[in-house]
Amino acid sequence: MPYEKVGEWAFILGVLIAVIAGVASGALNAVEAGYVTLALVILGLIVGFLNIGDKEIKDFLIAAVAVVLIGTANLTAIPVVGMYLALMVLNISAFVAPAALVVALKAVYNLAAKPTTA
């Protein structure tokens, strides 16, 4: 299976797990929630290593910052579904943050590896 497919499936699986875990948050105990977060972090690392090329670094990092900022919104104030939305966004942030770390390190490496021309 090509690396692109692995990364693509890791992304789809990460988003699905984040959404399902957000909806099913009441049914998860602390240990299970920890395993969900661990799975999201691992999938995020896979996405960061395999899916984001040099041309997409800037766009991905902007999108990752947007996702993390959405997590600061007071979504729990929304009646009925607010808690579930907040937990979904929290899980998506746990998925995106490791990918953003990998991509940011790629960006720093690319900037440091290229000599500047005057």
The confidence band for 118, taking pLDDT boundaries of 50, 70 and 90, is low
The two structure tokens encoding residue 54: 């040099």
Could you read off the pLDDT of 55-112 as tens digits, one per residue? 999 999 999 999 989 988 888 899 998 899 999 999 999 999 999 999 999 999 988 8
64 assigned to some structural domain: yes
55 assigned to some structural domain: yes
**Rounded distance between C-alpha atoms, residue 47 and residue 51, angstroms:** 5
Domain count, the chain: 1
Rounded to an integer, the average pLDDT of 37-66 is: 93
96 assigned to some structural domain: yes
Could you read off the pLDDT of 3-23 as tens digits, one per residue? 668 888 999 999 999 999 988
101 assigned to some structural domain: yes
Give the residue numbers spanning the domain of 25: 3-113
118 assigned to some structural domain: no
30 assigned to some structural domain: yes
